[in-house]
Amino acid sequence: MATKKPTIAIVGGGISGVVLAIALIRRDLNVQVYEQAHAFGEIGAGVAFSPNAVRAMRACSPDIYAAFEKVVTHNQWPSKKNVWFDFQDGYDKNSKVGEEKVLFSLTNDYGANSVHRAHFLDEMVKLVPEGVTHFKKHLDTIEQPTSGDGKVTLKFHDGTTAEADAVVGCDGIKARTRAWMLGGDDVPGAAPVYTHKYAYRGLIPMERAVEALGDDNAKNGKMHLGKDGHILTFPVDHGSVMNVVAFHTNHDEWPDAKHLTLPTKKEHVYEDFKDFGPTVQKIIELLEPNLDCWAIFDTGANPMPAYNKGRVCVLGDAGHATSPHHGAGAGICIEDAAVMADLLAESSVHRAGAKGFEAAFQAFSDARKERTQWLVQSSRRSGDLYEWRAEGVGSDAEKIHAECKERNEQIWNGQIDEMIAEAKSSLATILKA
């Protein structure tokens, strides 16, 4: 008689949950996704993927890479295809609009590729078979047997429950699974922490952007640096739209810990960037009069001691939410998913039953902790480098260049095959012990 295939429950259907679900389904595993929203949904903003993330997509499944290729947008000038960003002096008040001094450029194999989040998710969702995802399921808590092969129980807010052999929490920056693992909502690390940076975001039709800023500034990835703030712009939607993210630092507390996004007015953007030069002023002019302000929280103050607890594990932002200054948070989630999928597909895990899943999650945690937690800290440092706040560096463009290059290359050069091999070798050792 054939043994029944184990079921993996995924909590959360954001980029991490959906990518992991597809990767596990492609490895012929039983998967159920529980998402609190009434449908899959992403915001209408851009997200960029570095070369390590693109390699990880391929490792998860060629379909995911194909979905990405369908919606990806690169810098629009062929000569800038490999440029990640031109870093420009946004503070230079003497330059004309569109003529800021370029301080340095960083390049990699994929340049400033970016996707419209919602469009990328739409493409990936097509790869998830019907019946796998259960919407309006907000996880409240988890119960797992203390010994033996009994199932892990997920308890939802609507009073229903579900059972699985193992649970992966992909429930994002405010993860219930993380709070459950750490032992409660008030335990340090359960809640994310404000980084004292926030961001305004906007999407500008490309024609308007070109008219206002000139071809190069509108159509290619640009980072406008300055004191206590920086603005980045890059093309999305196959070059029909310019994405704007304007970051600012201040010492105040975020006013509403429940809502990480609050509505605001363009006057506040002008106020925050009043000392910046004319190109930055022109970018602000292009934004809508009413817009959203996003608080940048992360898990950097209290990194998790481990991503696993028995047959429950966290992955993506649920385990290591980062500020976005490396543009690598979602990419590292995809690396996580590739490593997790290959571990859970190992036949040795299934043969060992409950102990097998515990071992796979232990191997995942051991393999992923250092790189993912380094990213959170390095991203904080990068945000400060862009805003002339980094100790020992200030506004010294040469030093900013050297440090940004080194830090980004550490991310971009990450080889997913090596990460998977290392995790599998650790799994073998744990299973033998």
Q: List interacting residues with ligand FAD (CB under 6 A).
A: 11-17, 34-37, 47-49, 137-139, 170-173, 176, 199, 245, 294, 316-318, 324, 327-331, 333
The strands making up 139-143's β-sheet, listed across from edge to edge, are 139-143, 152-156, 161-164
Whose CA is closest to 283, among 103, 111, 100? 100
How far apart are CB 115 and ligand FAD at their closest, in Å?
9
Taking the C-alpha atoms of residue 356 and residue 347, their distance in angstroms, rounded to an integer, is 9
How far apart are CB 344 and ligand FAD at their closest, in Å?
17
Whose CA is closest to 287, among 272, 265, 261, 262? 265
Q: Left if phi > 0, otherwise alpha if psi is -120 to 50, otherwise beta: which for 30?
A: beta
Complex with ligand FAD: residue 277 or 316, whichever CB lies closer: 316
How far apart are CB 214 and ligand FAD at their closest, in Å?
24
Q: Burial, 355: exposed, middle or buried (Cβ in 10 Å; 0-12, 13-18, 19+)? A: middle
How far apart are CB 28 and ligand FAD at their closest, in Å?
23
Helix ranges, 214-353 (H): 215-219, 266-272, 278-286, 317-320, 329-344, 347-351
| Active-site residue flag, 201 | yes
Whose CA is closest to 348, among 430, 422, 421, 420? 430
Angle at 180 between CA 179 and CA 186, to 5 degrees: 45
Which member of 201, 380, 381, 407 is catalytic?
201
The 3-state DSSP class for residue 4 equals coil
Helices 62-71, 117-125: crossing angle, 10 deg rounding = 140
Complex with ligand FAD: residue 34 or 357, whichever CB lies closer: 34
Complex with ligand FAD: residue 48 or 354, whichever CB lies closer: 48
Whose CA is closest to 230, among 216, 245, 240, 215? 245
Taking the C-alpha atoms of residue 307 and residue 363, their distance in angstroms, rounded to an integer, is 10
Q: Left if phi > 0, otherwise alpha if psi is -120 to 50, otherwise beta: which for 142?
A: beta
Complex with ligand FAD: residue 300 or 329, whichever CB lies closer: 329
How far apart are CB 345 and ligand FAD at their closest, in Å?
21
How far apart are CB 171 and ligand FAD at their closest, in Å?
4
How far apart are CB 407 and ligand FAD at their closest, in Å?
15
Complex with ligand FAD: residue 170 or 280, whichever CB lies closer: 170
**Amino acid found at 163:** E
Whose CA is closest to 212, among 270, 291, 281, 271? 281
Nearest residue to ligand FAD, by Cβ distance, number only? 14
Complex with ligand FAD: residue 114 or 362, whichever CB lies closer: 114
Complex with ligand FAD: residue 168 or 430, whichever CB lies closer: 168
Both tokens of residue 262? 């609050």
DSSP 8-state symbol, 332 = H
Complex with ligand FAD: residue 37 or 66, whichever CB lies closer: 37
How far apart are CB 387 and ligand FAD at their closest, in Å?
15
Active site (catalytic) residues: 201
